[in-house]
Amino acid sequence: MSETDLTAGVSAEAKSAATEFLSTFTDFKTTMTKQISEMGQRVDALDRKSADTRRPALAATADAEVPHTKAMASYIRKGEEDALRSLDVETKGLNTGVAAEGGYLVDPQTSESIESVLRSGASLRALANVVQVEAGSYDVLVAHNDLGFGWNDETTPTGDTQAPIVDRVSIPLYELSASPTASQRILDDSAFDIEAWLGERIGERFLRAESDAFVNGDGVNKPTGFLTKSQVANGSWSWGNIGYVATGSAGDFDPNNPADALVDLVYALNAEYRAGAAFIMNSQTAAEVRKMKDNQGRFLWMDGLQAAQPPLLIGYPVLIVESMPTIESGAHAIAFGNFRKGYTVAERPDLRILRDPYSAKPNVMFYATKRVGGDVSDYAAIKTLRFAVS
């Protein structure tokens, strides 16, 4: 059958439409082919630019962090100091990679991992006011009385009102150190994440030391703990002391109404502080408090609804700090307060590390140091529960 026979029954309109469609499709194909070719040329150009090793890194922190991280890893694994000595990292609180005799500043990545451990751990740091300073001490100015005031009409001259009493609380910084040890064989293993290991070990040891000092520190070459301050009955409280509420029973809660002491403790704190207040106690005390129920048999202790949320006691968060005293006669085993206002932690942002391959041969010892201090900054913001008759 010839082409003439096939198109014999096709109308002129159909032939025209088919011809127009084929022409349009051809133009579309030509346009798309051209655009795809242009896109390919642009991608090739971008690849060539990205492959140029002379281009600077796009990340703002890459120049500061990557060389320092590599140099620190080389120092930790092999004791090579040349790369660290040639560094000059200009960042806040970290203006040089070299200390003449005190070791080397750790790289920002390891420093951040240590700070993460300290922030997430069971320490008063989680509730306190934490400030970073560049000096050897930090001063807090606290006004511990109300401003005077008066009522006046439009014509009567105003008189003088009472001025606030301002105290200066000076918080000196002390050196905190830790000495984790690793075998040289482990350090030689390239698959071993030395930065993560070092950060975790140092962070854990710093956390335990800080946690105890912020609670029980005597202020001698360490922070001053809030429990070492003078403790007085809340009814006779004055500035410079920590007020306490007694349970009414020596070494225990009151046998008839054990929860009443917790309620009294909460309301011993002024309303201006209660909005951000929290309980602090150790695990053994928490086990006793967790059993308490109200008159309807409901537990006073409520677990957090999410994993990251702290438990609640009478509607206030609870932080478990193992450095708190255990329940015994005369012990201040529970504290309640607004610690962000009541306690200040001051620290320098830099962390130094010294590699010692000689003192613990065949192992390598790392001597890490940082400077930190802490003290009560507002005596009205913290109250304690004393397990005593009065």
Residue 269: its pLDDT value, please? Answer: 96
Q: How many CB atoms lie within 10 A of CB 352?
A: 18
Number of Cβ atoms within 10 Å of the Cβ of 1: 5
Examine residue 362 and say whether the peptide bond preceding it is cis (omega within 30 degrees of 0): yes
| Complete domains list, the chain, with CATH | 62-149+162-222+346-376 (3.30.2400.10), 226-343+378-386 (3.30.2320.10)
Token output for 235: 């009814």
The model's pLDDT over 75-86, given as tens digits with 9 standing for 90+, comes to 666 565 555 555
pLDDT in tens, 211-252: 999 999 999 999 999 999 999 999 999 999 999 999 999 999
Low-confidence ranges of the chain (pLDDT < 50): 1, 3, 6, 54, 58-64, 88-101
The identity of residue 218, as a single letter, is: D
The whole-number pLDDT of residue 68 equals 60
Confidence (pLDDT) at 130: 93
pLDDT of residue 128: 94
pLDDT at 357: 84
pLDDT of 264 reads 96
Other CB atoms within 10 A of residue 345 CB: 26
What pLDDT is recorded for position 63?
Answer: 46
pLDDT at position 42: 78
pTM score above 0.85: no
Q: Which residues of 219-248 are buried (b: 16+ CB within 10 A; e: fewer)?
A: beebbbbbbbbebeebeebeeebbbbbbbb
CB atoms within 10 A of CB 339: 29
